Amino acid sequence: MSSESNPSRWHIAILLAPAVIVLLVLFGGGLIYSLLQSLGWQPLIGQTRLSLDAYTNLLFSPDYAEVFWSGLAFSLWVSGLSTVISAILAVAIALLIYQTARGIRLWTFLFQFNLPVPHLVAAVGMLFLLSQSGLISRGTVALGLTSTPADFPILVRDTAGLGIIIAYVWKETPFIGVIVLGVLRSMSDSYDPAARNLGANGWQRFRYILLPLITPSLLSSSLIVFAFTFGAYEIPALLGVRFPRGLPVTALRLFTDADLNARSEAMALSLLITLMTSLVIVVYLWLRGIAERLT
Amino acid sequence: MVERHRGTPDIKSILRYLLLGIMGLAFTAPMIAFLLNAFARQWFFPQLLPQTWTLEAWERLLSGRSEFVQALGNSALIASVVTLVALILGLPAARVMGLYRFRGKRVIEFLLLLPAVVPPLAVSMGLTVNFLRWGLAGTWVGVALVHLVPVLPYVVLILSGTFASYDVSHEAQARSLGAKPLAVFRYITLPMIFPGVVVAGLFAFLISWSQYLLTLLVGGGRVMTLPILLFSSASGSNNTTIAVQALMFTAPTLLLLLFTSRVLSRNALTGLARL
């Protein structure tokens, strides 16, 4: 689209400078400083020698290893299951809306409704809905399924992280779903009738026509969900238990620990979380490139 | 593509609308729970609905100089300043990213996307330690600065989409008629990109408005915003108070949905998923 005579490199650099410098200083600076601190560089308490102690402590020392490995397993479990359930539900609902004749605008609106609702509100909402004296528990009493709060399963602050998973599924399903719905709506109307004329049944039309078309977008948006849920704090902090505890919650507790020595471990843990999510995001960018070439 | 049954509804389409209804209920259920709780006076366990209703929590929370009103004010102030600064910093960059091809563009794109998607923990911890030394920790200016990290990338990403379909030749015409640079921006550029600026501004406001972790770390508990207050209420206060705070916190975000429900780019959607 560059209809203007191509501007000089200086012109481009000067226009980019304000945003790029602010981000480099704040984002890059913050990241580098926490890297230095994770390597034990704390001039305030007289430590300037660099070492990998914080990382080896976190992974192997009796003080931290159990918290780290159980937290890693817990975070992988929560993010993995949340992502898979969200992806399946998202495809199911997107297909349901796509194939519905009446009220498409209403259904789409309801599907998108919680898209801009913050994670913190999702967590508080789940406290209101899922706790043993919450709204759903009252509903099961009205239906005669339970009679006391104790009859209702523990879904909030449970050791398996079920409340956390439900909150993430509630928050992230519309994100994947709206993207999938967009792909469905942008594809040609002729595939489905053509396959039908050739005698393909409903499952075959989904498996061999729709699924290959939505797969790149589905995978890339699922990866983003995995990355976001793996590094997010609010939901596991409000809906989780002391043990096992999600990695981001542990990182923040170590950071606010009265013992300043725990800071190196807090920074090391945060950087490990950042590293793991960044790897997922690199795969996401690669997949998104493929998805954009396809649509 | 669609089986249309205008006449008698069959089992299959009844089931379809039933499932869609359940879907709609599931995604709005927390808001329904907040609304019920926010006006409930007495609501003992097995009762499905509150027995008596009240505005007591609203009156208490919205009166004068309550902690809640102060948090509301702080949140609005920080989000407004962050929005303005992000738009001023982001507009020139977005123009370049949307209009031109140049060497190193992929690197800049990557640099912009990274802060938008990487979890804020490590960055904000590193910044907090430095801000403590510079006297910025515990101040609203420090909090606003750190909010730029997640906000600025989205402003540039959304606005560069606007500039990608922007015709620069109008500016050249205005210049040839003798318009000065400021007049060109005021009368040509701004009106043409205005819809994009509104959407980018709404996103910027919303992303700042809903930050919890960055505010907690850099604010150190001394900058009380709505999410900070809501989080501490959620682990202590009564349900009516929590519900009112949650509703007030969510209201602007739902307004955004009404504004932008039509066209949401992939980047914008990712921003919403991140909130």
The string of pLDDT tens digits covering residues B11-44 is 888 899 999 999 999 999 999 999 999 999 888 8
Q: How far B139 CA lies from chain A's nearest CA (Å)?
A: 16
What is the count of structural domains for chain A? 1
Whole-angstrom distance, CA of residue A84 vs CA of residue A218:
11
Task: Give the pLDDT confidence score for residue B42 in this predicted structure.
Answer: 82
Q: How confident is the model at residue A64 (pLDDT cuts 50, 70, 90)?
A: very high
pLDDT for res A35:
94
Q: What is the pLDDT of residue B247?
A: 95
**How high is the pLDDT of residue A196?**
81
Q: Given an 8 Å threshold on Cβ–Cβ distance, is B16 in contact with A100? A: yes
Percent of the residues in chain B that have a pLDDT greater than 70, as a whole number:
95
Contact A264, A54 (CB under 8 A): yes
Query: Does residue B243 surpass a pLDDT of 80?
Result: yes
This complex has an ipTM of: 0.90
What pLDDT, on a 0 to 100 scale, did the predictor assign at position B187? 92
All residues of chain A having their beta carbon less than 8 Å from the beta carbon of residue B210 are 118, 120
* A125/B239 Cα distance (integer angstroms): 11
**Which has the minimum average pLDDT: A11-15, A74-78, A277-281?**
A277-281
d(CA B275, CA B254): 13
| A115, A127, A274 ranked by CB distance to B119: nearest | A274
Domain that holds residue A168: 66-294
* pLDDT value of position B191: 92
Q: Averaged over A19-40, what is the pLDDT?
A: 94
Reported as half-sphere exposure (CB side, CA atoms, 13 A), residue B37 has a value of: 26
In the prediction, which pLDDT does B2 show? 47
Could you give the C-alpha distances from B227 to A118, B60, B61, B217, in angstroms and in order?
Answer: 9, 19, 15, 13
Mean pLDDT across chain A, nearest whole number?
90
Question: CB neighbours of A30 closer than 8 A, spacing ≥ 6?
Answer: B122, B123, B124, B125, B126, B127, B130, B149
SS3 content of chain B, % helix, strand, coil (to 5): 75, 0, 25
CB–CB contact B45 A139 (8 Å): no
Q: In the prediction, which pLDDT does B143 show?
A: 97
Q: What is the pLDDT of residue A2?
A: 41
Number of Cβ within a 10 Å radius of residue B80: 16
Measured distance CA(B131)–CA(A14) in Å, rounded: 27
pLDDT recorded at residue A263? 87
Asked if B275 and B207 count as a contact pair (C-beta separation under 8 A), the reply is yes
**Residue B137 confidence (pLDDT) above 70:** yes
Residue B122 has pLDDT above 50, yes or no: yes
Say if residue A43 is exposed, middle or buried (CB neighbours under 10 Å; 0-12, 13-18, 19+).
exposed
Q: Give the pLDDT band (50/70/90) at residue A1.
A: very low
Q: Residues B102, A10: contact at Cβ < 8 Å?
A: no
- pLDDT of residue A204 exceeding 90: no
φ, ψ (nearest 5 deg) of residue A146 = -130, 165
CA atoms within 13 Å, Cβ hemisphere of A166: 25
Question: What's the rounded Cα separation, in Å, for the pair B235 and B35?
Answer: 19
- Is pLDDT at A190 greater than 80 in this prediction? no
Alpha-carbon distance A97 to nearest alpha carbon in chain B (angstroms): 8
CB neighbours of B160 closer than 8 A, spacing ≥ 6?
B93, B94, B95, B97, B98
The reply to whether A1 falls in a domain is no
**10 Å Cβ neighbour count for B229?**
22
Q: Which residues of B touch A209 (CB under 8 A)?
A: none
Query: Each residue of B35-93: pLDDT tens digit?
Result: 999 999 888 888 888 888 998 889 888 887 789 999 999 999 999 999 999 999 999 99
Torsion angle of alpha carbons A113, A119, A122, A124, nearest 10°? -150
CA distance B63 to chain A (A): 23
Confidence bin at B227 (pLDDT 50/70/90): very high
Counting residues of chain A whose pLDDT is more than 90, the rounded percentage is: 64
State the pLDDT at residue A113. 87
In a domain? residue A227: yes
Q: Which residues of B205-226 are buried (b: 16+ CB within 10 A; e: fewer)?
A: bbbbbbbbbbbbbbbbeebbbb
Indicate which of B5, B12, B27 best probes the interface with A, i.e. most A CBs within 10 Å of its own CB. Answer: B27
Q: Which fold has domain B65-274?
A: MetI-like fold (1.10.3720)
Q: What is the CATH number of the domain that holds A225?
A: 1.10.3720.10
- Are A273 and B121 in contact (CB < 8 Å)? yes
| A173 domain-assigned | yes
Question: pLDDT at position A87, please?
Answer: 97
Torsion, Cα of B210, B215, B221, B222 (10° steps): -100
Query: Between chains, do A125 and B148 touch, taking CB under 8 Å as contact?
Result: no
Phi, psi dihedral angles at B17 (to 5 degrees):
-70, -30
Of residues B255 and A87, which shows the higher confidence score? A87
Q: CA-CA-CA-CA torsion for A249, A255, A258, A262, nearest 10 degrees?
A: 110
Q: Classify burial at B34, counting beta carbons within 10 Å of its beta carbon; exposed 0-12, middle 13-18, buried 19 or more.
A: buried
Please report which confidence band the pLDDT of residue A201 belongs to, taking 50, 70 and 90 as the band edges.
Answer: confident
Structure tokens of B143? 């909090």
Confidence of residue A295 (pLDDT cuts 50, 70, 90): low
Closest CA to A78 of A190, A160, A22, A184: A160
Q: Give the whole-number percent of chain B exceeding pLDDT 90.
A: 57
Query: Which phi and psi (to 5°) does residue A258 adopt?
Result: -60, -30
